[in-house]
Amino acid sequence: MSDFLIGGDEPDDGAPPASNALEVTVSELSGRIKRTLEDSFGHVRVRGELGRVSRPRSGHVYLDLKDDKAVLGAVIWRGVAQNLRIQPEEGMEVIAEGRLTTYPGQSKYQLVIERLAPAGVGALMAMLEERKKKLAAEGLFAEERKKPIPFLPEVIGVVTSPSGAVIRDILHRLSDRFPRRVLVWPVAVQGEACAPEVARAVEGFNALRHGGPVPRPDLLIVARGGGSLEDLWGFNEEAVARAVAASEIPVISAVGHETDTTLIDFVSDQRAPTPTAAAEMAVPVRGELLATLAGLEERRERSLARSLEDRRARVRDLGRALPRAEELLQLPRQRLDAAGERLPRALLACVNAQEVRLGRLAGRLQPSALTRRIETSSERVQIFAARLGPALSRTSEQARDRFDKLARLLESFSYKATLERGYAAVRGENGVLDSVAKVEAGATLEIEFADGRVDAVAGGERGGPRRRKKNPGSTEGGAQGSLF
């Protein structure tokens, strides 16, 4: 191998003399090392345990492969990371395929991973057990949080592949048992797109509202046929398990065959061994329901007939214990006959008693007694009349005095006394006028003086009362004079 001289400084005195090797830059040396490493390790398969796993916003994945003695840095570019069947997690034992290269910026080498797979089924099972413990600790597997399956759902939502045999088996089984309306949400049932599509399907069904253009299902079935653990791994993803656990609609999981168990089976409200069994759990058999209803109807009719017969027998028994109508009327009839026989004698006795009483009253009616009573009454009338005359006179005199006082008081309050002092009252069509504003020109007026009334016609301006000049020598109209 050729010798290289790194750097451009001369050696110090006393140091070994420098060789005549070619000088190169750091970048050139890093490039030669990169080419040498990539040529020697163009494709490698490395088995190890995943240590640090970092996912920056760029989409690339940076991780460490390690064993008990060494650590190898690795990177998965974004395009490869998006298509991985199994997402890398810390602690997972994997087999990575790729090529070795260098990272000159830090003088380190790293593995560029092109394919990543678990190191056998044991690694997947270990990772599945870790997820089960984590979700179980959060209470997602608890029986008390599981919802009951409706007895007869109107709408059933199915999350599965639209082209597989699973959906045909479910529809056929539902049609045989009890036809219901089915909504299918197509998803990928394996591969990298499986987990996100199944989670979005469950969330999408729950987002539908009642009474909307698309009916909201009363029950969900998440179904897939059988397969290997790797094929069913999408249903072991944490995103799918959490979406099913958060579903408000009851969910039946039917993934794989009876011996297959996935993480979704633990969080769903009911697990079915096969998709066909899920359809059987979803709806009852219509024929069996009809037969059950017919049996219940027959039992109801028999029970009703038996109840009516028991009541008829009870009425008959009570009727035999009652006496006959003739026996009930015999005693009242005897009492009526006895009363009829006693009635004439009672009437005759009553008439005789009244005659005796009338005779006693007639004996007390003497003319002398009546005369004495009349005389006594006449004396009482005369005494009352003698007292009544003076009392009436005094009452009349008192009333007359009171009336005179009221008359004098009324006369003192009368307006006529005011007229006698030289005033006059002016009346219009609506009564006494107390303001010039109520007088209209040409209106007929009536003027009342102390000694009589005269008619007049209003004239002049309406802006206010007219003042007339005093005429001391005038005597027309009496002491007051004319108003006009």
Helix (H, G, I), strand (E, B), or coil: what is residue 213?
A: coil
Cα 439 → chain centroid: 74
229 versus 242: which is more confidently predicted? 242
Q: How high is the pLDDT of residue 120?
A: 60
What residue type is assigned to position 461 of the chain? E
251 bridge partner residues: 220
**8 residue type, one letter:** G
Q: Give the mean pLDDT of the chain.
A: 83
Instruction: Give residue 2's pLDDT band: very low, low, confident or very high (50, 70, 90).
Output: very low
pLDDT of 466 reads 47
Asked whether the beta carbons of 219 and 254 are under 8 A apart, the reply is no
Could you tell me the two tokens for 133? 């413990």
The predicted-structure confidence for 436-474, as pLDDT tens digits, reads as follows: 878 888 888 888 887 888 888 887 554 444 444 444 444
Superfamily of domain 4-119, CATH level 4: Nucleic acid-binding proteins (2.40.50.140)
Mean per-residue pLDDT, 173-200: 91
CATH fold label, 127-142+150-284: Rossmann fold (3.40.50)
Tokens of 14: 């006393």
Question: Which residue matches tokens 């309306």?
Answer: 181
Nearest to 44 by CA among 22, 14, 29, 65: 65
Q: How far is CA 188 from CA 160, 163, 238, 475, in A?
A: 7, 10, 17, 132
Strands (E), 345-441: 425-428, 431-432
Mean pLDDT lowest for which of 21-35, 153-167, 202-216, 262-276? Answer: 21-35
CB atoms within 10 A of CB 315: 10
| First-residue to last-residue Cα distance in the chain | 155
Q: What residue spans of 91-164 are helical by DSSP H? A: 121-137
Q: In the chain, where are the structural domains located?
A: 4-119, 127-142+150-284, 286-315, 409-484
Give the DSSP H/E element, type plus range, for residue 72. Answer: strand 71-76
Q: Which uninterrupted H or E stretch holds 341?
A: helix 325-363
CA distance 23 to 291: 98
Q: What integer pLDDT is reported at residue 483 of this predicted model?
A: 43
Report in angstroms the alpha-carbon separations of 434 from 426, 438, 453, 465.
Answer: 8, 8, 18, 12
Contacts of 451 (CB under 8 A, 6+ apart): 478
> Confidence class of residue 122 from pLDDT cuts 50, 70 and 90?
low
Please name which of 113, 73, 75 lies closest in space to residue 97, comparing C-alpha atoms.
113
Higher pLDDT, 168 or 418: 168
> Where are the strands (E) in 256-404, listed by range?
270-271
CB 243 within 8 A of CB 234: no
What are phi and psi for residue 228, nearest 5 degrees? -75, 175
**Tokens found for residue 6:** 């790194």
Query: How does residue 198 score in pLDDT terms, banded at 50, 70 and 90?
Result: very high
Give residue for tokens 């049609």. 175
Q: Which two tokens stand for residue 464?
A: 């206010």
Sheet strands (E) in 214-347:
219-224, 251-255, 270-271
